[in-house]
């Protein structure tokens, strides 16, 4: 165990107070460094340069400490008790996890329990060779077996925004990518602007600290109070959180009746370069989320079943347990080999099954915060989850063909057959496990990977991005062809996919809204994003966007 | 029909072949053709020396499928491995039936300690309140287990409503052995015979060629 983490535990164990602030912890954990920076900041010469160095070192120490605090918090050994002022967090030991006897003994026990948790993962996935070749990678490999990727929380289950925040805070240790807050329009309806601002500021800090994402999902078809919503989006634009995304569930008809609201959103968001994520509920009703790994969603039939049988009994539902990505470029850059691709997919499927089996064994302790909240229906929370195989730079599989169109058709067929093979594998494994008295759900879905899945690991992007300047761009042959391809892929990527349009932000909101209408009514794109950040490099129409 | 052996592997092979050669075909709810025998009785004698985990090892070593590990199979029979991610577990039903009754420690062990010849030592897995719902497909295969003490040996009789003999029975017999060993240790008895009574003893027809390959027949 890391020495800094040991010192943190020691400080929390020996403290007479019920909780300790980050500032006090910095002093206890780094006493000599802290003393040094105080002397710089209070230097007798009042040298401004030295004060600046002192301040910089102080910030550095805070960041260093926060990194370890977050690790301990994610492993459930400590808890955040409150956030005060501009976001300073207070921590205490998690007594549910640690039984304190004598104080010195407690420190030792904590250290031992952390070590045993970390050591208890001698896991052979069967894909080690591919990992060594940097062809495949597990998402968040360190926490692969101990955290789920994503889940949704039903906002309607929380009486106040405060309660929602509390649950969200307790949930950070159980997931490693994204949580979607469904029907967030209800939260906006029931809370004041001040509460909303506070909430956004806090989750902005949390998501940055923990490197996790939160999606606020607005079902625009259910919106009643446009004024409150408009005010909220003003606040959102002002706070402009990095890792908090807004998702609009809508359709063309709904959009037509909400022109003022959407105009103001588009104006605000485009000015602040905030992405607008649109889910077309006419094509796909199950909620979409976007995190670090990529897009997430549920199968329509599963979602329908969840709504009719489970909704209201649990606080939400798990979407993804584990993810692995394949870097197609690295795998097949020399020669495209379809049979090798299928073999790889099946090896990954076996690895995912072994991983979920390991995760299951520890599920009562790993997912305690949500299990507690789903009392009586714990298993339902996990009964609609998927395991993801994400593809990166997959364009390579068809772009090398002389005739790119037929190349794409072959690629699409290859994916379809891989999906069939995966379904068959999952079904027979479910049958095997069930016949052994282990009633598991095991589903694998394909999806695309985002570059932020692992920037250092992924091969450079081989596809090009393009900037949309007006509605007429959507009529160009190249764009039409590429949209058609993405429409086909939506049917194969059952774990969800996202088409990102880079959009020149200088246009009037009305022009952009008419493009939304065009996409919602003319194309099979269940989820698309308008990104208003300017493109560096290619801004041509000779290829597409992601 | 009834088969008896003191080797788990032998009993398993013979049972699968018996179904292949004498079963009748029907199509199940998932549209899979299934070959079944009604009321098949399998007696595994001298379980301690029967190589009770050999069928599991055979399945795992075949590498044709991912078969549950012995650790997971035995783990779900005991409450300490009870995990909320499962729809149900045998352990939950054994040690916390209806979320309250520990059938082993509160009933089976005290009963057989006081009255070794009792014929009331019945451990029930099926919970009508939970399982008797028309849409519920995930219900335990094992309905009940009856413990009998004969000649200072603990014997078990197990009723399985629907039993995939190829994939499921290796796991079932091992799980029953683990449970038997737990109880016999507490009662200071030796392990005797395990009898499984499978109401629908079946193998899916499309699994036969793989089964023949794995069983070497």
CA distance A482 to A500: 12
End-to-end C-alpha distance for chain A, whole angstroms: 41
pLDDT at residue B113, rounded to an integer: 94
B201 part of contact set with chain A, CB < 8 Å = no
B85 part of contact set with chain A, CB < 8 Å = yes
Judge whether residue A128 has pLDDT over 90: no
Interface contact B65-A438, CB threshold 8 A? no
Domain B2-215 part of CATH 3.40.50.300: no
Please give the helix or strand (H or E) that residue A179 lies within, else none. Answer: strand A175-182
B72 part of contact set with chain A, CB < 8 Å = yes
CA distance A157 to B71: 38
Residue (of A438, A449, A330) closest to A388 by Cα position = A449
pLDDT at residue A346, rounded to an integer: 93
- Higher-confidence residue of B87 and A160: namely A160
Please give the helix or strand (H or E) that residue A297 lies within, else none. Answer: strand A295-297
pLDDT at residue A399, rounded to an integer: 65
B134 part of contact set with chain A, CB < 8 Å = no
Residue (of B157, B159, B145, B162) closest to B200 by Cα position = B162
CA distance B58 to B75: 20
B100 part of contact set with chain A, CB < 8 Å = no
pLDDT at residue A285, rounded to an integer: 96
pLDDT at residue A111, rounded to an integer: 41
pLDDT at residue A142, rounded to an integer: 79
Complex prediction ipTM: 0.90
Judge whether residue A120 has pLDDT over 60: no
pLDDT band at residue A105 using 50, 70 and 90 as cut-offs:
very low
Interface contact B141-A435, CB threshold 8 A? yes
Percent of chain A with pLDDT over 90: 40
Residue A15: φ, ψ to 5°: -70, 145
Interface contact B69-A378, CB threshold 8 A? no
Which residues in A lie closer than 8 A to residue B129 (C-beta atoms)?
none
Low-confidence spans in chain B with pLDDT less than 50: 81
B108 part of contact set with chain A, CB < 8 Å = no
Interface contact A383-B87, CB threshold 8 A? yes
DSSP H helical ranges for A362-437? 363-366, 368-373, 378-381, 396-399, 404-435
Which residues in B lie closer than 8 A to residue A354 (C-beta atoms)?
66
Residues A447-496 have pLDDT tens digits of 999 987 777 778 877 666 777 888 888 898 888 888 888 899 998 999 99
Q: What is the pLDDT of chain A when averaged over all its residues?
A: 84
Which residues in A lie closer than 8 A to residue B65 (C-beta atoms)?
428-429, 432
- Separation in Å, CA of A314 to nearest CA in chain B: 13
Q: DSSP secondary structure string, A306-323? A: IIIIIBTTBSEEEEEEEE
Smallest CA–CA distance from B136 into chain A, residue: A309
* Residue A126 neighbours by CB distance under 10 Å: 13
Q: What is the pTM of this model?
A: 0.79
pLDDT at residue A83, rounded to an integer: 82
pLDDT at residue A408, rounded to an integer: 81
CA–CA distances in Å: residue A289 to residues A150, A153, A178, A245, A527: 8, 12, 7, 9, 10
Residue to test with chain B: of A438, A440, A443, A444, most B Cβ within 10 A: A438
Q: DSSP secondary structure string, A194-216? A: HHHHHHHHHHHHHHHHHT-EEEE
Judge whether residue A109 has pLDDT over 50: no
Which of the listed ranges A34-38, A226-230, A364-368, A506-510 does the model predict with the highest average pLDDT? A226-230
- Separation in Å, CA of B114 to nearest CA in chain A: 31
Residue A153: φ, ψ to 5°: -110, 135
DSSP H helical ranges for chain B? 8-22, 54-62, 70-75, 90-95, 103, 109-114, 128-131, 168-187, 208-215
Average pLDDT over residues A514-540: 81
- Separation in Å, CA of A11 to nearest CA in chain B: 33
B81 part of contact set with chain A, CB < 8 Å = yes
Residue of A379, A433, A437 with shortest CB distance to B85? A379
Percent of chain A with pLDDT over 70: 90
- Higher-confidence residue of A230 and B86: namely A230
Contact A148, A372 (CB under 8 A): no
pLDDT band at residue A96 using 50, 70 and 90 as cut-offs:
low
- Separation in Å, CA of A361 to nearest CA in chain B: 7
Contact A329, A144 (CB under 8 A): no
pLDDT band at residue A108 using 50, 70 and 90 as cut-offs:
very low
pLDDT at residue B172, rounded to an integer: 95
Contact A454, A137 (CB under 8 A): yes
Torsion sign across C-alpha atoms B145, B146, B150, B154:
positive
Judge whether residue A389 has pLDDT over 90: yes
Residue B50: φ, ψ to 5°: -95, 0
Average pLDDT over residues A45-56: 77
Structural tokens at position A152: 């949704």
A153: three-class secondary structure by DSSP: strand
pLDDT band at residue A250 using 50, 70 and 90 as cut-offs:
very high
- Separation in Å, CA of B77 to nearest CA in chain A: 9
pLDDT at residue A541, rounded to an integer: 41
pLDDT at residue A539, rounded to an integer: 42
Smallest CA–CA distance from A435 into chain B, residue: B168
Structural tokens at position A240: 């402009």
Interface contact B65-A383, CB threshold 8 A? no
Q: Which residues in A have their CB inside 8 Å of a CB on B?
A: 350, 353-354, 357, 359-364, 367, 371, 374, 378-379, 381-383, 428-429, 431-440
Interface contact B84-A379, CB threshold 8 A? yes
Residue to test with chain B: of A350, A425, A435, most B Cβ within 10 A: A435
Which residues in B lie closer than 8 A to residue A362 (C-beta atoms)?
83
CA distance A330 to A345: 15
- Separation in Å, CA of B68 to nearest CA in chain A: 7
Interface contact B69-A428, CB threshold 8 A? no
Smallest CA–CA distance from A317 into chain B, residue: B85
pLDDT at residue A282, rounded to an integer: 96
- Higher-confidence residue of A65 and B148: namely B148
Unique residue bearing structure tokens 């209806």:
B98
CA distance B84 to A381: 9
CA distance A330 to A338: 14
pLDDT at residue A505, rounded to an integer: 72
Structural tokens at position B186: 């507490």
Which residues in A lie closer than 8 A to residue B172 (C-beta atoms)?
436-437
- Separation in Å, CA of A478 to nearest CA in chain B: 44
Interface contact B81-A361, CB threshold 8 A? yes
Average pLDDT over residues A26-41: 84
Size of interface A-B (CB pairs under 8 A): 89
Which residues in B lie closer than 8 A to residue A357 (C-beta atoms)?
66, 68-69, 72
Interface contact B86-A360, CB threshold 8 A? yes
Judge whether residue A100 has pLDDT over 60: no
Residues A430-458 have pLDDT tens digits of 989 988 888 888 999 999 999 877 777 78
Interface contact B86-A431, CB threshold 8 A? no
Residue A167: φ, ψ to 5°: -65, -40
B126 part of contact set with chain A, CB < 8 Å = no
Interface contact A438-B76, CB threshold 8 A? yes
Interface contact B172-A436, CB threshold 8 A? yes
- Separation in Å, CA of B88 to nearest CA in chain A: 7
Judge whether residue A542 has pLDDT over 50: no
- Separation in Å, CA of B192 to nearest CA in chain A: 23
pLDDT at residue A330, rounded to an integer: 83
Residue (of A30, A37, A23, A25) closest to A87 by Cα position = A23
């Amino acid at each position: 165990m890391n020495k800094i983490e040991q010192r943190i535990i020691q400080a929390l164990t020996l403290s007479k107070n019920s909780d300790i602030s980050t500032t006090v912890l910095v002093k206890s954990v780094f006493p000599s460094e802290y003393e040094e920076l105080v002397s710089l900041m209070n230097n007798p010469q009042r040298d401004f340069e030295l004060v600046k160095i002192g301040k910089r070192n102080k910030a550095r120490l805070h960041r260093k400490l926060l990194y370890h605090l977050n690790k301990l918090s994610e492993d459930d050994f400590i808890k955040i008790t409150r956030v005060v002022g501009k976001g300073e967090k207070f921590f205490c030991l998690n007594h549910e996890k640690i039984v304190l006897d004598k104080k010195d003994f407690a420190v030792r026990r904590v250290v031992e329990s952390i070590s045993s948790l970390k050591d208890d993962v001698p896991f052979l996935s069967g894909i080690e060779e591919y990992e060594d070749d940097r062809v495949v990678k597990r998402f968040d490999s360190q926490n692969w077996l101990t955290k789920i990727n994503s889940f949704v929380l039903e906002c309607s289950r929380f009486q106040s925004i405060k309660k929602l925040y509390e649950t969200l805070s307790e949930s950070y240790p159980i997931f490693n990518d994204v949580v979607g807050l469904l029907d967030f329009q209800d939260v906006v309806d029931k809370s004041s602007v001040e509460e909303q601002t506070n909430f956004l500021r806090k989750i902005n800090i949390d998501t940055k600290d923990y490197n996790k994402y939160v999606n606020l999902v607005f079902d625009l078809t259910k919106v009643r109070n446009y004024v409150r919503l408009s005010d909220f989006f003003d606040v959102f634009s002002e706070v402009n959180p990095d890792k908090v995304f807004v998702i609009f569930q809508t359709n063309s008809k709904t959009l037509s009746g909400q022109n003022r609201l959407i105009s103001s959103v588009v104006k605000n968001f485009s000015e602040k370069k905030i992405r607008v994520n649109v889910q077309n509920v006419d094509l796909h009703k199950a909620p979409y989320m976007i995190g670090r790994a990529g897009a997430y969603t549920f199968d329509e039939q599963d979602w329908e079943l969840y709504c009719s049988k489970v909704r209201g009994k649990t606080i939400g539902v798990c979407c993804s347990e584990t993810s692995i990505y394949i870097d197609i470029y690295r795998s097949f850059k020399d020669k495209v080999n379809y049979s090798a691709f299928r073999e790889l997919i099946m090896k990954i499927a076996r690895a995912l099954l072994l991983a979920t089996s390991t995760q299951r064994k520890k599920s009562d302790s790993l997912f305690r915060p949500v299990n507690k909240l789903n009392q009586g229906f714990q298993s339902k929370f996990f009964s609609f989850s998927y395991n993801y195989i994400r593809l990166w730079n997959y364009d390579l599989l068809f772009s090398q063909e002389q005739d790119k169109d037929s190349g794409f058709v072959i690629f699409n067929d290859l994916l379809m057959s891989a999906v069939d093979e995966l379904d068959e594998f999952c079904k027979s494994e479910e049958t095997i496990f069930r016949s052994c008295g282990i009633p598991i759900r095991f589903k694998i879905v394909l999806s695309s990977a985002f570059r932020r899945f692992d920037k250092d690991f992924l091969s450079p992007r081989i596809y090009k991005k393009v900037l949309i300047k007006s509605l007429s761009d959507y009529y160009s042959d190249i764009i039409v062809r590429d949209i058609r391809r993405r429409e086909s892929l939506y049917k194969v990527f059952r774990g969800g996919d996202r088409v990102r349009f880079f959009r020149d932000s200088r246009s009037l909101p009305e022009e952009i809204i008419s493009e939304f209408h065009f996409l919602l009514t003319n194309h099979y794109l269940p989820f698309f994003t308008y990104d208003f950040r300017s493109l560096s490099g290619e801004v041509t129409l000779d290829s597409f966007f992601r | 029909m009834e088969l008896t052996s003191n080797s788990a592997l032998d009993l398993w092979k013979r049972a699968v072949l018996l179904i292949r050669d004498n079963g009748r075909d029907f199509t199940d709810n998932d549209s899979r053709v299934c070959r079944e025998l009604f009321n098949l009785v399998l007696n595994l004698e001298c379980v301690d020396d029967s190589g009770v985990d050999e069928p599991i090892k055979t399945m795992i070593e075949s590498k044709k499928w991912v078969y549950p590990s012995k650790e997971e199979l035995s783990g779900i029979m005991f409450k300490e491995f009870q995990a909320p991610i499962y729809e149900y577990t045998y352990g939950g039903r054994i040690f916390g039936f209806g979320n309250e009754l520990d059938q082993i420690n509160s009933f089976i062990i005290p009963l057989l300690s006081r009255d070794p010849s009792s014929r009331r030592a019945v451990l029930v897995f099926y919970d009508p309140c939970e399982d008797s719902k028309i849409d519920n497909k995930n219900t335990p295969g094992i309905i009940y287990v009856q413990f009998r003490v004969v000649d200072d040996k603990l014997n078990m009789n197990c009723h399985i409503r629907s039993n995939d003999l190829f994939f499921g029975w290796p796991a079932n017999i091992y799980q029953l052995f683990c449970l038997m060993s737990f109880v016999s240790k507490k009662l200071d008895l030796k392990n005797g015979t395990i009898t499984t009574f499978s109401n629908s003893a079946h193998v899916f027809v499309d699994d036969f060629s793989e089964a023949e390959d794995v069983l070497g027949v």
